[in-house]
Structure 1
């Protein structure tokens, strides 16, 4: 399979300071209009295009380094085309890209041309290098006379540099038919420096009975269907706004492929060979539609997604894949009482190789904050206030020995501040991670911030009390509204804001902060902000 852009941009002339051949893009227009399919600035060029506007899916960037990042777009004048190819002709289309210091593109840092090819559904992954560390940049594309929306991105600080505070937003679980992506719009308005998406970017299901807006096509199982589904998600202007505002670190969970899949095991009884083909299609579509580096180009059903992103000396993000290498869920999945299989020391959620990789990263880290970005609930959560305990097998409770090894690995490494970021459960949680959950006097050794869903589970309710908070005193906060977590990393503390919207079944709800917590440097645990 040929992935255009995986080899990097083709050689181009040296950038010319001050040169601009594309129209200017002001800050206010960037914030309010960058998510339009072409934007008013591109209208004149689009009228002369040889095909309809190809930039209906917007732009994105990701995996920043001190000297660059990945720039992404996909050409799709007819994004919902049933063949998954976005209405593009079966030919190579050259696409120009450029990176500027300013939002009006008056100081061009780099530009080049790459080929968008039909074999990759005309997706582009441009890996830039040679940019200055710790700096904001703006980027855009042009093809067939049309100009894309502009995106805002940034490079990571130089190695070891603490630099200014880092603001991130954490999101997960965006089920298109269940609600509007208002939380993505509010996230964009917060203008974070970095976005972490922890999985369930799209859902594989056909339109459910409770839908507030439909998805096209049946449950996704083949490449055309996955491509079409990603394209429909990317037509949403709120999602495009969130992609355009900052670079993203992405990793999948289950619904990008199949609910509750585990390694080679599907959710249901479909044949292994059929599921392997489905995984390969899902992996290819995921890579095509995410701002990932060439190291993540899939090989059949296998895809390298766990990786490490350093943000100078301030933070190291260890991005974990908890789907691809896990042992199958214990005791038939679900919420179980008395499941001893979950205690088997031979079982692993991330797999033995990824556990070793993570432990090595902790040993080598000199960051102020070591942040583990992963998918499923990490702290123990007894779901029954009585006895015996009832635990969810799809999260770390179903892999207790694996969780203990991961926790010990950061404790033994002397990690200065350990923070776990989590998605999946459709509710906000603020948790303290204990060395031993059986011992009430056991020390707190880390902090877990669980982000609610963007839409999954619908509007929710205003409740913040829950029996799990009383059964599990290390669980400090819960909210059943949709939203995201905004976190600000500073040398002396981490501040986490649990951002919520009161409705997703109708568009446009305002955002508010349901609770704030502070984690001081070298003091694991949560303090009300």
Structure 2
């Protein structure tokens, strides 16, 4: 049975219950409250990477501070557990996050921060609060959402704000997956944009860091701080864990290790490696992603969400070869996109998974042809190379992964992605593919959250994708319609705790259901 939709009234009531906040106060920027003589929180709270026993919580303050944190299983903070305080300084841009462990499973967790000024330890802020629910250890209904692409193509915070986040919050998901392009470091936000249809889009909020492309570490950090000025974003963050991955615009469009910026007059910093390092640091400082000590900066990971669901996050940016290499007939280092270590990890963890559903959250679609240079239709930016033939180049690594999944009889794998700024359902059928050594599977595409909307991309037949549904802007990849056009999209996934069926719905920002399918789990002997 699918969970009943949360109405707007029920949503506002539930938001108002978070730590005793009124819904209206959640919508106000935290930096606008309190006395300047006391620390104030600038960007709300966030939680992420929540499993049955732990989760990461995050906040940011306006000055060097000592953060005190406590949590409880009640919104009145009865029998609260107080954790050891920790300090935040300009070294991390005054952000602080903590992995909270030892939590009870399948339980609402209410948490709050208080900040004490390091210059005057007795000067303390008002508390700031949030909540999340830990994963179950037994079968229950699960709901999560996914989308991607925030504040791109110059479309920033207007009078309506990033309203898709508000629509997502009405569904009260257990968690949200942000599938990449979490920021647009290479897309400045102007004060206004003249619309081709007539009229003017006005960005109500524009910061100095968003008036230019990001090159320095403070500028990369500023991209994140801009998004967190939106009331819908911070309201959702307060009640819903967000699991983050990145794609290209966290650094710059279509970047790979071979990206050449020598002729790009916008960039004084010409090293893409330096830019990527700064972008990665800002990404980890500004999100509630877990820190992996064995591999600092690592984004690929698995989050176990009970016996029905494992989510695998992959990173198709950090380990890829050059975008413009030849179409190798054998798998070579330059033709990899996962990278040898990551694909070995993914195979191993998929084989070990005992969850009914294995969701692979991928920052790029599989069968859509995405060119590094659209004008000349040159260079593979994603996996498919556009020749509709046997696997070559980057397709070889993916073909090897699909063959492994088939040979290991790993069922119930679903791929989720964003990136292309429209929504679609793709079914991959080996009977219709040039490469046929794989089990059939679904890939669902949804986005953007708050960016320009584009027309559909062409499909490559190597892995046999079939479009079962699509909604995209007219006019192809040059359309770039604003968020006010309404064509902002997200997906909702419900897993039934009894039947274990997965229902996937593709939605728009006005909460219209565009398409749905129900997938029965495949039983293995």
3-state DSSP class of the match of 2:43? Answer: coil
Contact 1:452/1:483 (CA < 8 Å) preserved in 2? Answer: yes
The question of 1:520 aligning with 2:509 is answered: no
Whether 1:64 aligns to 2:64 is: no
Say how many residue pairs are matched.
449
1:151 is matched with which residue?
130
Alpha-carbon contact 1:264-1:276 (below 8 Å) kept: no
Q: Which residues of 2 match residues 248-397 of structure 1 at below 5 A?
A: 248-263=242-257, 265=259, 274-295=271-292, 303-330=297-324, 341=327, 344-346=330-332, 347-379=335-367, 393-397=380-384
1:359 to partner: Cα distance: 0.8
Q: What is the deviation of 1:111?
A: 3.8
CA contact (8 A) 1:418 1:445 kept: no
Equivalent in 173, 176, 179 of residue 198 of structure 1: 179
Distance 1:30 1:164 in 2: 30
Partner Cα distance (1:188, 1:406) in 2: 35
Contact 2:113 2:127 in 1 (8 A): yes
Aligned to 2:415: 420
**Counterpart of 2:475?**
none
Question: C-alpha distance in 2, partners of 1:207/1:236?
Answer: 14
Between the aligned partners of 2:242 and 2:320, the Cα distance in structure 1 is 25
SS of 1:73's partner is strand
Q: Secondary structure at the match of 2:272?
A: helix
Task: Find the counterpart in structure 2 of residue 37 from structure 1.
Answer: 29
- Check the 8 A contact 2:368/2:457 in 1, yes or no: no
CA distance change for structure 1 residues 201 and 148 in 2, over 3 Å: closer, same or farther?
A: farther
Query: Is structure 2 residue 389 aligned with structure 1 residue 402?
Result: no
How far apart in 2 are the matches of 1:175 and 1:168? 22
Tell me which residue corresponds to 1:235. Answer: 229
* Alpha-carbon distance change, 25 to 382 in structure 1, aligned in 2, over 3 angstroms: closer
1:168 to 2:127 alignment: no
Distance 2:403 2:436 in 1: 17
Consecutive unaligned residues in structure 2, runs of 5 or more:
1-14, 117-123, 194-200, 372-376, 386-393, 473-486
Shift, 1:62, TM fit: 0.8
Contact 2:251 2:275 in 1 (8 A): yes
Q: 1:113 to 1:393 in 2, by over 3 A?
A: same
Aligned pair in 2 of structure 1 residues 417, 470: CA closer, same or farther (>3 Å)?
Answer: closer
Alignment gaps of 5+ in structure 1: 1-23, 77-87, 332-339, 384-389, 502-509, 525-529
> 1:116-144 CA deviation, whole Å, 9 max, x = no partner?
12211111111111110121211121114
Contact 1:377 1:423 in 2 (8 A): yes
Instruction: Choose from 124, 137, 155 the match for 1:178.
Output: 155
Let me know the Cα RMSD of the aligned residues: 3.3
> How far does residue 250 in structure 1 lie from its aligned partner after superposition?
0.7
Shift of 1:99: 1.2
**1:344-381 CA distances to partner (integer Å, 9 max, x unpaired)?**
53222111111111111111111100111111111356
Q: CA deviation at 1:73?
A: 0.5
Q: Deviations over 1:225-250 (max 9, x none)?
A: 11122111111111112222211211
SS of 1:281 mapped into structure 2: helix
Q: What secondary structure, in the 3-state scheme, does the structure 1 residue paired with 2:271 have?
A: helix
User: Are the aligned partners of 1:258 and 1:267 in contact in 2 as well (CA < 8 Å)?
Assistant: no
**How many angstroms does 1:203 deviate by?**
0.5
Post-superposition Cα deviations, 1:92-126, rounded to whole Å, max 9, x if no partner, equal 41111121212333342444421112211111111
Alignment of 1:84-95 (within 5 A): 88=63, 92-95=64-67
The CA deviation at 1:426 is 0.5
4+ runs of 1 displaced by more than 4 Å? 27-32, 266-273, 296-299, 380-383, 439-444, 465-473
Cα distance in 1 for partners of 2:277, 2:461 equals 43
Whether the 8 Å CA contact 1:95–1:142 is kept in 2: the answer is yes
Which of 472, 489, 493 is the aligned partner of 1:487?
493
Q: How far has the Cα of 1:265 moved from its partner? A: 3.3
| 1:517 Cα offset (Å) | 1.4
1:216 is the counterpart of 2:208: yes
- Counterpart of 1:83? none
Give the deviation of 1:511 after TM superposition.
2.2
Segment drifting more, 27-36 vs 137-146: 27-36
With over 3 angstroms needed to count, the CA separation of the structure-2 counterparts of 1:456 and 1:297, relative to structure 1, is farther
**Structure 1 residues 268 and 370: alpha-carbon distance in aligned structure 2, compared to 1, 3 A threshold:** farther
- Secondary structure at the aligned position of 2:279 is classed as helix
Answer yes or no: is the 8 Å Cα contact 2:402–2:438 preserved in 1: no
Q: For the residues of structure 1 that align with 2:468 and 2:406, how far apart are their CA atoms?
A: 22
**Separation in structure 1 between the aligned mates of residue 126 and residue 430 of structure 2, nearest angstrom:** 53
Shift of 1:70: 0.6
CA–CA separation in structure 2 for the residues paired with 1:470 and 1:354:
25
1:26 aligns with 2:17: yes
Aligned twin of 2:477? none
Judge conservation of contact 1:173–1:202 (CA < 8 Å) in 2. Answer: yes
Q: What CA distance in whole angstroms lies between the structure 2 residues aligned with 1:115 and 1:382?
A: 44
Q: Work out the CA distance in 2 between the residues paired with 1:512 and 1:149.
A: 33
When residues 75 and 367 of structure 1 are mapped into structure 2, their CA distance, relative to the original with a 3 A threshold, is: same
